[in-house]
Structure formats: C-alpha cells, structure tokens
Structure 1
Amino acid sequence: MARMHSRKKGKSGSKKPLKTSYSWMNYKPKEVELLVVKLAKEGNAASQIGIKLRDVYGIPDVKTATKKSITKILKEKKLAPNLPENLTSLLEQVISIKKHLENNKKDLHAKRNLTLT
C-alpha cells in the first residue's frame, strides 16, 4: 500500500503467522496427508480439500502441518490431475459461456467475457 503524503511505497499489509505447527492442532503430519488423500479420492479439487480441512477438521494450513503443499502430496501419491485447477476452471467457464451464446447470440457482455477468458 502506498503512502498518502510521499512518493514512496509503504510496508503495511497483513502477513501470515510464522511457519511453525500449531500447538492446539490434534493431527500429526501423516494423519493430515491421509486426510488429503482420502478427500482427493472422493473427487475433490485441491482448493476444496483445503477448505474442507479448514472448516471440518480444524486444520488451518496444510503446508505448516506437513511441510508440503496439497498439490505436492497429491503428486507423490499420483492423484494429481493432468491440468492445473485454475486452467480447468477457466475451460469450464469458456464452455458455459459458449453454451449460453448459442441461445443468446446478441449478448454482448457474454461475448466480451468470452474474449477476456
């Protein structure tokens, strides 16, 4: 964020806490990895796995708990998808916009959105 009365950039901004495991967390690193594998076999994407671990199991950050990211764990267990998750979601978005444009040919906003994606 920039300073108001000078031409310099400021240093303010939120920062993640230190990368130490949480003392109140009841799961060991191997248990967290097994949970990640279990959720991946159920058909969840990496972002959905992180959200479920946070909300249901009380694991705030997989990387601090296991020293590995979710995608790295999935690659080790050979469960990672061929395409990255963000590319997959972009392709799904393009398909849905094209399907919409088949029915609504004069929708200029959708045409613009298609060129942006």
Structure 2
Amino acid sequence: GDDPSQIGMKLRDEGVQGVPVPDVKAVTDKKVGEILDEHDAGRAVPEDLRNLLARAVRLRDHIDENQTDYHNKRALQNTESKIRRLIDYYRGDEIDETFAYSYEAAVEILE
C-alpha cells in the first residue's frame, strides 16, 4: 500500500524488528522499487508522476470552486507543465507510448 519512499523512510526510522535499516540498497543491492517489482507489488505509474497527478487533480477541483484564484491557476499550469515533461521522460519505458495527459486520465490513474 505504501510508496517506495514511504517504505524506505519507515525502514530507516522504525527498522525491522527494532533494528533501523539506513540504506536498503546497501543491504540488498536493490532499490525498494526493484524489490516491489520483483514481487509484483509495484505501481503502474512512477511515484513522482503519481504525486504530481494527485496535485493537479486537487488544484483543478479547487479552481472549479474558486475561479478567481489566479495564484493557484498559475500553480496548476506549472504542475501540468511538470507532468508533461515527466511523461516525455518516462514514455516508452514505464508509460505507454500513446499516453497523453488530461484531467480525466489523471483521475482514472489515481482511482
């Protein structure tokens, strides 16, 4: 259920049976995401892109209720720009070649 970064923080802070694990890769020679993928527990969308999609959906919902909030309209534009750049980066490897960002696609991914 948790993202790889949250799992890494829990291992660092709480540890395994009370023993902290400061660096998962130093212990296992694999990143947390690679371990999750081996056990078919990985996500379809990379964590950083998923977080940006969630932010864009929240901003869009806020702007629908507050049309004159120009600061958050600009924040939405910046966030959507980051999403498009990140999609170009991941396209072909971790994201389908035909994927294009839209609000509806973001809501569908987050469900």
Shared fold (TM-score greater than 0.5)?
A: yes
Unaligned residue ranges in structure 1 (runs of 5+): 1-42
Q: Under a length normalisation based on structure 1, what TM-score does the superposition of the two structures give?
A: 0.63
Unaligned residue ranges in structure 2 (runs of 5+): 80-111
With CA pairs under 8 Å and 6+ residues apart, which has the higher RCO, 1 or 2? 2
The equivalent of 2:51 in structure 1 is: 89
Deviation at 1:103, TM superposition (A): 1.2
Deviation at 1:102, TM superposition (A): 1.1
The equivalent of 1:115 in structure 2 is: 77
From 18, 21, 33, the equivalent of 1:71 is: 33
Distance in 2, Cα, partners of 1:44 & 1:113: 27
Tell me which structure has the larger Cα radius of gyration.
1
Q: Under a length normalisation based on structure 2, what TM-score does the superposition of the two structures give?
A: 0.66
Amino acid at match of 2:44: N
Query: SS of the counterpart of 1:98?
Result: helix
Q: Comparing both structures, which one devotes a greater share of its residues to helix?
A: 2
Show CA shifts across 1:64-92 (max 9, x none): 01011011111111110000000100000
Show CA shifts across 1:4-45 (max 9, x none): xxxxxxxxxxxxxxxxxxxxxxxxxxxxxxxxxxxxxxx111
